[in-house]
Every structure is written in C-alpha cells, then in structure tokens.
C-alpha cells in the first residue's frame, strides 16, 4: 500500500480504494512497470463491458512467475480473495515443507520471496497470529527471530556522517522522540514518554520519520501517513533544519544520480535510478541496499551447519530453527555473526546491533 501511494498516487480514502477508478489506474501502472500489461498478457480476462478484470484470482494468475508475483499475492489478500491459510496450504509440499521462490531482482538487491510472499504476514493483527502456521523443522527444535535494530536509519547516519542524527543510536536514546523534538520542539513535546501529550507526539513522529530519511516530501508524506499536509510540512522543514548533514548527503546522492544515472553503495553495488525520480530514489536505494548487504554478509559468514538452520529472511530479519536444548548458545552465536558496523568513506562509524526475541514453538511466538 505504501509503495502504491508513494509511487503511483494510490488513493487512501474509502473502504475499497482499489475498486475506485484512480485505484485501478494505479494498480495497472504498477503492473505495467513490472512487465504485466496487455502486451505481455493478451488473454487478460475482461468484464462484460470489455474492461480488464482486477479480481484477486485474476491477479494471482497474471503475476505468477513475474517480478510482480509478490505484489499480486498481497493485492489478492488485501481484496479478501485469498486468506493466509489458503496461501500457506498452497505453498506447502508433500514433504510438509515450504519451498518458496527467492529472487534478487529488486534494484537494491533485496530478496523477494514468493509462494508464499512473507511480507504479507505482518507484525500486527491476523497476519501476526497466523505466523503460527510456520513451525520448526523438528519437534526438539524451536524458532528464534533475529533482526537488525533500526538498520535503514543507521545506514543513513553512516552514509551521511551527520553526528547529530547519530545521537539517536546512543544508549538510552529514543529516535522517535528525538524526531518529535526536532519537528515540534522539546518545549511542546515534553520529555516524559509516560505523559499522554509526549506519547502522542512521539507516536506521530514514527510514520514520517523513515520517509524523511529518504527525502520524502510533505505531499507524499501526507498521502502515506494520513497526517495533515501542514503537519507534514512542519515535520519536513524542521527536520531539514535540525539534521543538515543528512540533507547534504541526500543532495549529493541526487546530484550523483542525475549525473551518472545510478548510485553505488560502499559494497560496490551499482543501482540504476529512474529518470525523474532521482530526488528520492537515490538516497533510498543507498540506505535500503546497505541493510541488504549487511544481512547478506552475515549469511555468507555462517558455516554450512549454521546456515542450514536459517529458515526465513524478511528484509532485516532472519528466522532460525535451532535445538531447543541449547537455543541460548545458538542465539548468542548467531547474534555475534549478524551484528556489524558501517564506516564508509566520507561518512562515520555506526554500529549495527541485532536483537532476538524469545524462543518459540512457531514463528508467531518467536516474533518480537
């Protein structure tokens, strides 16, 4: 939904925005960019009036085997055409295991997992509870989930070299509260997180904080967060004043992309930038790809036996099936392998710590 809103002006009002003319137009554009259009799908099912259908099952069939497959799965679930239970059963083979399709076709190098698409199992609501479908390999094993802490924001701090922005990663610091102070002032926000006023401002700063790091403007921020435009404009303007080092890095990234047509991260990954979208895409690709590289480095560092315990990867999180008897030892070992740092040329040293939730009988219980 966020991608549709940010990139394709997808509407956010109403119970079924995907059924509106503007919503359908946005979906058609997104599908076309992924290579799914009338030219590639001449047998696209039609309505009695001749319009192309966009039902859930139609989307699943049209996007199967394409870069838009995960997108099709997510839309089908959003429209209520397919439940997570159906998706889990469809993706389970006779050996009671799931063997997903894993590709790295995204520009940033991030993994895309389909059949099933793991991102539809969210951290809240039904998507969280239904993570319980996924269980460890053996009865004497448990799941543990390890993820990097604020990885994308840490990448922005490392790449930009903004020491003030990096203060949010000091022990005891609260990045969301720091953003709220920067946007609306410490006198207005307050310092006690238990105070309802302070808590409300801190919560309000969460959604726009990530987008700001990648140069999201006030208009797009209002569309993706639901906050009033003027509120978003205040947030953007004051964050720009508070963290000038990040703004300067965003500008450098954009100028490089305008000149060369691509950006390159510290690992040497060259990422092409769409013409006309350099302003936001250049810094976003650099930040998102950094998280991907750190996770990839961690997997490459694991010996074969440890690597075989990795069952799932969801952006900056890894899920492992490890022996119940000594899972704490496995946790400590894996944390040491996954935790990392960045110290890019022209930036600053930033540590990338990781956290681990409780051991669980399934993915839901191991989530944190």
Please report the pLDDT score of residue 51 as a whole number: 85
pLDDT tens, position by position, 93-104 = 999 889 988 888
Mapping DSSP to helix (H, G, I), strand (E, B) and coil, where does residue 2 land? helix
Whether residue 109 is predicted with pLDDT greater than 90 in this model: the reply is no
89-93, 115-119, 184-188, 243-247: lowest mean pLDDT where?
115-119
Mapping DSSP to helix (H, G, I), strand (E, B) and coil, where does residue 358 land? coil
Please state, in angstroms and rounded to a whole number, the distance separating the CA atoms of residues 207 and 197.
17
Angle at 79 between CA 75 and CA 84, to 5 degrees: 75
Considering only residues 21 and 127, tell me which one the structure prediction assigns the higher pLDDT: 21
Residue pair 365/132 in contact (Cβ under 8 Å)? The answer is: yes
Please report the pLDDT score of residue 142 as a whole number: 98
Per-residue confidence band for 246, with pLDDT thresholds at 50, 70 and 90: very high
Mapping DSSP to helix (H, G, I), strand (E, B) and coil, where does residue 172 land? coil
Please state, in angstroms and rounded to a whole number, the distance separating the CA atoms of residues 126 and 110.
25
Residue pair 52/58 in contact (Cβ under 8 Å)? The answer is: no
pLDDT tens, position by position, 126-140 = 556 888 889 999 999
Considering only residues 307 and 122, tell me which one the structure prediction assigns the higher pLDDT: 307
Structure tokens given for 281: 């895409």
Output helix, strand, coil percentages for the chain, rounded to the nearest 5.
50, 10, 35
CA 148 to chain centre: 12
Please report the pLDDT score of residue 6 as a whole number: 74
Q: What is the DSSP string of 12-32?
A: --SS-GGGSHHHHHHHHHHHH
DSSP E strands, the chain: 101-103, 112-114, 141-148, 262-264, 270-272, 310-314, 317-323, 340-342, 350-352, 354-356
Tell me the average pLDDT across 79-84. Answer: 68
Please report the pLDDT score of residue 80 as a whole number: 65
Please state, in angstroms and rounded to a whole number, the distance separating the CA atoms of residues 363 and 317.
12
pLDDT tens, position by position, 28-81 = 888 888 888 888 888 888 888 888 888 877 888 888 877 788 788 778 777 766
Whether residue 196 is predicted with pLDDT greater than 80 in this model: the reply is yes
Please report the pLDDT score of residue 285 as a whole number: 93
- Which has the closest alpha carbon to 74: 113, 19, 124? 113
Domain boundaries in the chain? 1-82, 95-154+265-368, 163-242
Considering only residues 67 and 260, tell me which one the structure prediction assigns the higher pLDDT: 260
Return the CATH number of 95-154+265-368, one of 3.40.50.10490, 3.30.70.370, 3.10.20.30, 3.40.50.880. 3.30.70.370
Tell me the average pLDDT across 181-203. Answer: 92
Residues contacting residue 202 through CB under 8 Å, at least 6 positions apart = 174, 176, 177, 180, 189, 193
H runs (alpha helix) in 214-340: 218-225, 229-242, 244-260, 278-301, 304-307, 327-338
Please report the pLDDT score of residue 14 as a whole number: 74
Please report the pLDDT score of residue 264 as a whole number: 97
Per-residue confidence band for 125, with pLDDT thresholds at 50, 70 and 90: low
Per-residue confidence band for 348, with pLDDT thresholds at 50, 70 and 90: very high
Alpha carbon separation from 38 to 9, 19, 25, 42, 75 (Å, rounded): 21, 19, 14, 5, 19
pLDDT tens, position by position, 287-346 = 989 999 999 999 999 999 999 999 999 888 999 999 999 999 999 999 999 999 999 999
Tell me the average pLDDT across 5-32. Answer: 82
In the chain, pLDDT over 70 holds for what percent of residues? 97
Whether residue 263 is predicted with pLDDT greater than 60 in this model: the reply is yes
- Which has the closest alpha carbon to 71: 106, 97, 40, 44? 106
The mean pLDDT of the chain is 89
Residue pair 343/125 in contact (Cβ under 8 Å)? The answer is: no
């Amino acid at each position: 939904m966020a991608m549709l809103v940010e990139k394709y002006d997808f509407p956010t009002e109403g119970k079924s925005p995907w059924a509106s003319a503007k919503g359908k137009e946005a979906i058609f554009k997104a599908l076309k960019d992924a290579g799914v259009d009338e030219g590639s799908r001449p047998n696209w099912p039609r309505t009695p009036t001749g319009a192309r259908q966009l039902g859930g099952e139609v989307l699943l069939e049209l996007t199967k085997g394409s870069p838009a497959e995960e997108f099709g799965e997510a839309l089908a679930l959003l429209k209520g055409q397919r439940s997570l239970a159906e998706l889990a059963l469809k993706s389970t083979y006779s050996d009671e295991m799931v063997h997903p399709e894993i590709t790295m076709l995204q520009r940033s190098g991030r993994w895309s997992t389909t059949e099933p698409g793991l991102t539809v199992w969210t951290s809240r609501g039904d998507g969280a509870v239904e993570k319980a479908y996924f269980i460890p390999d053996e009865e004497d094993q448990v799941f543990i989930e390890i993820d990097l802490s604020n990885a994308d924001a840490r990448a922005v701090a490392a790449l930009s070299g903004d020491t003030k922005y990096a203060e949010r990663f000091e022990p005891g610091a609260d990045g969301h509260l720091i953003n709220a102070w920067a946007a609306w002032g410490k006198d207005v926000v307050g310092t006690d997180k238990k105070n309802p006023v302070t808590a409300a401002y801190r919560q309000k700063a969460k959604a726009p904080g990530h987008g700001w790091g990648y140069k999201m403007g006030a208009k797009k921020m209002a569309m993706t967060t639901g906050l009033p435009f003027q509120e978003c404009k205040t947030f953007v303007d004051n964050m720009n004043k508070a963290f000038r080092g990040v703004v300067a890095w965003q500008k450098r990234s954009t100028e490089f992309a305008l000149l060369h047509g691509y950006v390159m991260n510290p690992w040497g990954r060259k990422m092409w930038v769409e013409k006309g979208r350099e302003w936001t895409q250049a810094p976003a690709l650099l930040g998102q790809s950094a998280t991907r590289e750190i996770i990839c480095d961690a997997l490459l560092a694991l010996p074969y036996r440890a690597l075989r315990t990795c069952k799932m990867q969801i952006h900056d999180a890894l899920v492992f099936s490890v022996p119940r008897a000594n899972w704490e030892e496995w946790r400590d070992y894996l944390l040491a392998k996954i935790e990392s740092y960045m110290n890019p040329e022209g930036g600053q040293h930033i540590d990338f710590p990781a956290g681990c939730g409780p051991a669980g009988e399934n993915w839901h219980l191991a989530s944190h």
